[in-house]
Structure 1
């Protein structure tokens, strides 16, 4: 049974769709199309419209390449053509209500993939439980994050996120939400984006709480590295490394060059050429430009940039297996390669391998590399962010440890596996190729309930993180509170990461 609802926004009236007590308004523009004269510019306000605009289908997605196999099957995402791609989606239990908590979701995808229309992010489950949910698109890859030698706005993808949050401040009350009760959340590149927002002066006051899943405050490029990468891209396209020259390149050519540059960095990871991309593994990511992003996010957060924001932060037990099992890399790792990776992370090789071998007896070099990379890339940054916020009792830490049965059980609790649980979208077969058919609904019930409770009450339901106990809620085959899990492995990274 469906019915239509209309809501007046600052740009015009939208007509949504109501089903099973949830009202959805999809594809609402929060900024003008970023093409033509607006290419590579800061987001501009959306153009107002007369009459009633249909908001019953997802809007266009931003320019992006497809995932390469096998990830195109494991991480399915839609491609919707059209230029009005800076849009968002709202689900609400009641547009006529007031004061409802709000959850704004920023998708992942390594800053080159993803959209707010990915099925796993269906916000109806949050609206069902009394939360106004919002998912957004933002510019990706070259459009969102390439740094130009001749100036121009940096971090356009982050500026898009800020514009979306400002739209929420101006409009969410019309959907029943409270602009003073906004939680911003994200996973992977979305979690790293939230880490940036916690550090950005332009984002202050736009949200009260933050959820960071498998991404925190360590991933950003220096301006020098980002400028070099812009030069490499321009050289590949045989144009000047300037905004006006790159804006004239056909979109298909630009995305092809974007992909080729990413492949270059992955297959020939020379630190003299790529700088921090050698370990960050992402060519296109936020840039410490001194203005939009004044410093590496974790340093800003540790200095108090987000001291009034409550955070829920964590990672999955086996994050890096997503990037090593489906492609067979986990079986190609040798002991010398493992030692090179540890050295690349600036960790003491002998001690690090001794500690990680003790934590996973009988592990192969590839399995140890997955554990070490998981900690360096995901778990330790989450812990550092929690440490930065722990002084005021405003941080909660989780770990997701339910192992996927896929790939003979070798995926473990890999990257992105928790999303269907936090969103309670298992019934939609969200990421079905990643989790299989037997994912436990009871675990989704518990995890989603904790996320709703945090958004609504500012407390997910377990002890906050502190530097003495280091309590972590483990969501696995059992749900339990663990004090300082794998503490000896955590301690390896003190003063390193």
Structure 2
């Protein structure tokens, strides 16, 4: 059944099913074409009525598949061409004064879409929350450092989307003064960056899933990525605006196959090679790593999955490790690799060399940034909460474990309604009960700022385990080895 809502630009037409109205792909900014392709986002230009009953275009990107894995429910189908892809989708039960959750999708800053099937907001709307999911510029248009163009354009898109929410969400039943942003992976990194750099008043709370505030690139690191693209395209960076989206997407795909060393001027690669793009410390949006500038008045929940790197180990299998290869890999992350390997072995974090490397990589990219973000915020007046997702997928003979992205079907409560492909999430009593628990925690945090477990404080740095063995715990001694390591 069609439903109409009037907002600042005109009327949007949505589709109601079982009491939830969905409005898909409403432009929150002008199409980033022509002179706007590498500029800051501008106000939307449409007027009259916008048909929001179907999903629209997505940001230029390559296929949403990892080798050997079907993650379409999270990464979507890839590029759906069209100019109006800076858009927001809204799910609402109607009414007024409802808490609002705004989701920022992941995809290594080069892929993904807020309209992927796994990000549908029906369950949130059913439970009295207005869910907004956004698209933003990716890859070269969104994040490449280009002389004469502002940095962090994709992040400014996210800020423009939040400003649109501030101005329009009441028409959909939401409370503009009770907005929580949340995101996973690149979306989690984005959320941490927004907590540090976004204008005040756009959101009250933030949930950072498998992200953190320690992943921004320095300007020399971002310049190294741009230099690689220049060498491949044979075009000066100043002329990237003349390169078609098709060719830029192909160049980003090529870049993903290269072992680009982003250790520049003694600064380590904060993403261990898993992504080539990200927020840039440019002295404008960011003066340093976001973890050092988190807004004190924003309530924060941050966490990671127990086996994040297992997703990449399954998707991108490497030759068998020997002890020397393990030591070499860890030496790129820590000056005392022998101590790190022994500490993780003693903590029972891996029975094989490959498992040890996965555990170390999980902490380096995800676990330690979550810890640092929680520590940095815990002394602030607004509350801090921390979690670790521990339910392990049976897929690939159990090798996925509690891998990267696996918490999302539980957060969105879609284990019974969406096929999550290679993630291997069965629809059974265990997963339905866990989804109910985790989804309810996200709803409670959006409503009250309390997910239902003790705050993380300097005196009591507790971590809530979300999985088959619930409860709170503290970090193991192996994580202390990362203190002071950047």
Alpha-carbon distance between aligned partners in 1 of 2:45 and 2:253, rounded to the nearest angstrom: 32
Contact 2:309–2:359 under 8 Å retained in 1: yes
Q: How does 1:266-305 map to 2 (within 5 A)?
A: 269=261, 271=263, 276-277=268-269, 279-281=271-273, 282-301=275-294
1:447 matched residue in structure 2: 438
- Show the counterpart of 1:130: 128
**Structure 2 SS opposite 1:427:** coil
Equivalent-residue separation in structure 1 for 2:440 and 2:434 (angstroms): 10
Greater per-residue helix proportion: 1
Shift of residue 279, structure 1, vs aligned partner: 4.8
- Assess if the C-alpha contact under 8 Å between 2:63 and 2:77 holds in 1: no
Q: Structure 1-normalised TM-score? A: 0.93
Change over 3 Å in CA distance of 1:171–1:238 after alignment to 2: same
Tell whether 2:84 aligns with 1:84.
yes
Mark the CA change 1:362 to 1:128 in structure 2 (over 3 Å): closer, same or farther.
closer
Correspondence for 1:343 among 326, 331, 334: 331
Pairwise CA distance, 1:481: 2.0
Residue aligning to 2:256: 262
C-alpha change, 1:276 and 1:151, in structure 2 (3 Å) is farther
Deviations 1:378-425 (A, max 9, x none): 011111111111113611111100010001011110000000001101
1:70 partnered with 2:62 = no
Give the distance between the partners of 1:197 and 1:393, measured in 2 at CA: 16
**Aligned with residue 311 of structure 2, among 322, 336, 340:** 322
- Deviating above 3 A after TM superposition, structure 1's stretches of 4 or more consecutive aligned residues are 268-280
Classify the secondary structure of the residue corresponding to 1:325: helix
**For each residue in 1:336-395, what CA deviation from the matched residue of structure 2 results, as whole angstroms up to 9, or x when unmatched?**
121112211124222211110012276111100000000010011111111111113611
CA RMSD of aligned residues (A): 1.8
Which residue number corresponds to residue 364 of structure 1?
Answer: 352
**Structure 2 residue 240 is the aligned partner of structure 1 residue 246:** yes
Cα gap change, 1:220 to 1:451, in 2 (>3 Å): same
Q: Which residue of 2 aligns with 1:408?
A: 397
Aligned to 1:7, which of 5, 8, 19?
Answer: 5
Give the secondary-structure state (helix, strand or coil) at the position aligned to 2:293.
helix
Paired residue for 1:237?
A: 233
Equivalences for 1:150-299 in 2 at 5 Å? 150-200=147-197, 202-242=198-238, 245-265=239-259, 269=261, 271=263, 276-277=268-269, 279-281=271-273, 282-299=275-292
The total of aligned residue pairs comes to: 479
- 1:83-141: CA deviation from partner (whole Å, max 9, x where unpaired): 110011001111xx221100000000010111111111111111100001000000001
CA-CA distance at 1:432 after TM superposition: 3.0
- Alignment check: 8 A CA contact 2:28 2:44 kept: yes
Distance 1:362 1:41, change over 3 A: closer
The match for 1:139 is: 137
1:470 is aligned to 2:468 = no
Structure 1 stretches lacking a partner, 5+ long:
none
Q: Distance in 1 between matches of 2:170 and 2:262?
A: 50
Gaps of 5+ in 2: none
Residue 26 of structure 2 is matched in structure 1 by 28
